[in-house]
Structure 1
Amino acid sequence: MTLVAAALFLPAALLGGCGLTSGSPLVDEVRPGSVGQGLPLKGAHLTVTSKNFSENIVLGQIMGLAFRAAGASVLDRTNIQGSIGAREAVRSGSADAMYEYTGTAWITYLGHDKPVKDPHEQWRAVAEADARNGLAWLPPAALDNTYALALNQENERRYGTRTLSDVAALAATDPGAVTLCVDGEFAARNDGLPGMAKAYGMTVPASRVQKMDSGIIYTQVSGGRSCTYGEVFTTDGRIKAMRLAVMEDDRHFFPNYNAAPEINAKALREHPAIREVLEPITARLTNEVARELNAEVDVEGKDPREVALGWLVREGFVRKG
Structure 2
Amino acid sequence: MNQLISTFQRQQGQFWQALLQHIQISLISIFIAILIAIPLALLLRRYPKIAEVILQITGILQTIPSLALLGLLIPFIGIGSLPAIVALVVYAIFPILQTTYTGLNQIDPSLTEAATAFGMTRRERLMKFELALAMPFIMAGIRTATVMVIGTATLAALIGAGGLGNFILLGINSNDVNLILIGAISSALLAVIFSAALKFLERAKIRFIIISFFLGLVLLGGSYYQPQTTKHPQITIGGKLGAEPSILINMYKDLIEKNSNIRVNLKSNFGDTTFLYNALKSNKIDIYPEYTGTITSTFLKNTTKSTDPAEVWKEAAVGIQKLNNMVYLSPMKFEDTYALAVKTNFAKEKKITTISELAGLSNINAGFDLEFANRSDGYKGLQSLYGLNMNVKTMQNSLIYGALNSQSVDVAEVYSTDSQIKQFNLTVLKDDKGLFPPYQAAPLMNASLLKKYPELENILNKLAGKINDSQMVEMNYDVSVKQDDPAKVAKNFLKAQGLY
Scaled to the shorter chain, the TM-score interval is 0.7 to 0.9
Question: Tell me, what secondary structure is at the counterpart of 1:78?
Answer: strand
Q: 2:272 aligns with which of 67, 82, 91?
A: 82
* Counterpart selection for 2:328 from 137, 142, 146: 137
8 Å contact from structure 1 (residues 181, 227) kept in 2: yes
Farther off after superposition, 142-151 or 69-78? 69-78
Q: Deviations over 1:27-75 (max 9, x none)?
A: xxxxxxxxxxxxxxx8322111111122122112211232233332222
Match of residue 35 from structure 1: none
Show CA shifts across 1:273-315 (max 9, x none): 1111111123322223212211111221223222222222333
Q: Separation in 2 of the partners of 1:114 and 1:251? A: 16
SS of equivalent residue, structure 1 residue 267: helix
2:305 pairs, out of 115, 130, 133, with 115
Please tell me whether residue 181 in structure 1 is matched to residue 367 in structure 2: yes
**Counterpart residue type for residue 245 of structure 1:** T
Work out the CA distance in 2 between the residues paired with 1:100 and 1:244.
Answer: 26
Partner of 1:124: 314
List runs of 5+ in structure 1 lacking aligned partners.
1-5, 24-41
The 3 A distance-change label for structure 1 pair 20 and 271 is farther
- Quote how far apart the aligned CAs of 1:15 are: 4.4
Q: Which runs of 5+ in 2 are unaligned?
A: 1-70, 82-155, 164-230
Secondary structure of 1:79's match? strand
1:36 matched residue in structure 2: none
| 1:317 aligned counterpart, secondary structure | coil
* Contact 1:100 1:261 (8 Å CA) reproduced: yes
1:235-291 alpha-carbon deviations (Å, 9 max, x no partner): 223323422111111110100111111112111111111111111123322223212
Matched, 1:239 2:429: no
Selected match of 1:266 from 424, 448, 457:
448
Q: If you compute each CA radius of gyration, which structure gives the higher value, 1 or 2?
A: 2
- Scaled by the length of structure 1, the TM-score of the pair is 0.80
TM-score by length of 2: 0.53
Q: How is 1:131-170 mapped onto 2 (pairs within 5 angstroms)?
A: 131-132=321-322, 133-170=324-361
* Deviations 1:185-206, CA, capped at 9 Å, x for gaps: 423433323333332222234x
Tell me how far apart the structure 2 counterparts of residues 13 and 294 of structure 1 sit (CA, whole Å): 31
Equivalent in the alignment of 2:75: 10
1:60 is the counterpart of 2:60: no
In 1, Cα distance between the equivalents of 2:261 and 2:373? Answer: 42
Q: Distance in 2 between matches of 1:12 and 1:316?
A: 44
Alignment of 1:211 onto 2:395: yes
Q: Which has the higher contact order (CA 8 A, sep 6+)?
A: 1
Amino acid at match of 2:482: E
CA contact under 8 A between 2:307 and 2:437: conserved in structure 1? yes
Task: Tell me, yes or no, if the aligned pair for 2:307 and 2:436 is still in contact at 8 Å.
Answer: no
SS at match of 2:412: strand
Distance 1:285 1:89 in 2: 27
Alignment of 1:289-300 (within 5 A): 289-300=471-482
Query: What's 2:238 paired with?
Result: 49
CA RMSD, Structure 1 to Structure 2 (Å): 2.4
Offset at residue 114 of structure 1 (A)? 4.5
Structure 2: distance between partners of 1:186 and 1:180 = 11
Contact 1:115/1:254, CA 8 A, preserved across alignment:
no
**Conservation of the 8 A alpha-carbon contact between 1:61 and 1:305:** yes
Relative to its length, the structure with more strand (as a share) is 1
> How far, CA to CA, are the matches of 1:152 and 1:22 in structure 2?
36
> What does residue 14 of structure 2 align with?
none
Q: Give the structure with the higher percent helix.
A: 2
